[in-house]
């Protein structure tokens, strides 16, 4: 029993030490920009394994030098209530759960329909899995990319929630958005607004117009995939939708 209690105490001390480490790292970010994120480093290693070299484009821009249309476009696309929530948008999470439940029910119904029809004798391919929609805020995405691995476990999600609270408590909304825009992935080895603006439009992120900003914003869910299909109808349609919503996006 004593050995078990000692082991539990060591685990608790280790967890407390880890949280204190995170507090220190995040507090320092109020003044010092992070040189890289956990996600960026994992991408660099993946590139090195695939290609034998690392392609990394990134240049930090202060918040004031990032064009307002890009800030509005990213907020409109990723987190419409960013300026007002406390890091977690519970309404968005509830809606995401509802959409996911409907998508899973539809996929299950299609699967049953195929199995019950005459074509079942020819062993049809399985129904496509339901598309899972998330409700993560910009702050949650930053928490995950800055300091955590890409594993989807309950423990990692719990740590993400703790880091989200720390980010919102220790940093201003402007600073959170500034760090996010300077580190988010926008293509293979393309990180941050300045690198993305230069890569796709040959200009600084300070000079992006509304249409260019909207086009960049709609790439964020899957930048490496959309980088390969710049003229797709989906991107064009989503760009128009984001342009229509940008006017209502509140900046911090």
* Residue 129 banded pLDDT, cuts 50, 70, 90: very low
Q: Are 36 and 147 in contact (CB under 8 A)?
A: no
Residue in this structure with the two tokens 């809606």, named with its chain if needed: 95
Strand, coil or helix: 187? strand
Token pair listed for 17: 């030490």
Q: Flag whether pLDDT at 122 surpasses 50.
A: no
What mean pLDDT do residues 94-100 have? 61
Cα separation, 114 vs 206, in Å, equals 52
Q: Measured between alpha carbons, how far is 97 from 134 in angstroms, rounded to an integer?
A: 8
pTM as predicted: 0.82
Share of the chain above pLDDT 70, in %: 83
Angle at 21 between CA 14 and CA 160, to 5 degrees: 85
Helices (H), the chain: 2-28, 38-51, 68-78, 90-116, 138-147, 154-170, 173-183, 193-201, 210-219, 223-227, 233-245
Q: Which two tokens stand for residue 171?
A: 């940093």
Which of these ranges, 2-11, 59-68, 123-132, has the smallest mean pLDDT?
Answer: 123-132
The closest alpha carbon to 138, from 81, 90, 189, belongs to 81
CA distance 223 to 215: 11
Angle between helices 138-147 and 173-183 (to 10 degrees): 60
At 131-170, the pLDDT tens digits run 444 568 999 999 999 988 767 778 888 899 999 999 999 9
Radius of gyration in angstroms for the set of CA atoms belonging to the chain, rounded to a whole number: 21
Tokens for 193, please give them. Answer: 């607004």
Distance between CA atoms of 8 and 29, rounded to whole angstroms? 32
């Amino acid at each position: 029993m004593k050995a078990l209690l000692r082991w539990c105490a060591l685990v608790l001390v280790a967890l407390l030490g880890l949280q204190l480490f995170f507090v220190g790292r995040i507090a320092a970010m109020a003044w010092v920009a992070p040189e890289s994120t956990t996600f960026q480093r994992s991408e660099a290693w993946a590139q090195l394994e695939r290609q034998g070299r690392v392609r990394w484009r990134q240049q930090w821009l202060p918040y004031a030098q990032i064009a307002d249309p890009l800030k509005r476009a990213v907020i409109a696309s990723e987190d419409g209530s960013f300026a007002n929530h406390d890091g977690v948008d519970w309404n968005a999470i509830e809606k995401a759960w509802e959409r996911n439940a409907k998508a899973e029910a539809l996929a299950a119904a299609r699967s049953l329909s195929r199995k019950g029809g005459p074509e079942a004798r020819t062993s049809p391919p399985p129904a496509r899995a339901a598309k899972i929609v998330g409700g993560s805020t910009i702050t949650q995405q930053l928490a995950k990319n800055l300091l955590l691995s890409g594993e989807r476990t309950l423990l990692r999600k719990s740590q993400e929630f703790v880091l989200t609270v720390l980010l919102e408590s220790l940093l201003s909304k402007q600073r959170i958005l500034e760090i996010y825009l300077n580190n988010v992935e926008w293509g293979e080895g393309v990180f941050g607004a300045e690198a993305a603006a230069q890569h796709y439009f040959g200009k600084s992120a300070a000079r992006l117009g509304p249409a260019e900003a909207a086009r960049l914003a709609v790439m964020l869910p899957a930048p490496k995939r959309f980088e390969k299909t710049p003229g797709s109808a989906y991107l064009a349609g989503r760009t128009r939708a984001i342009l229509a919503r940008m006017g209502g996006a509140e900046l911090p």
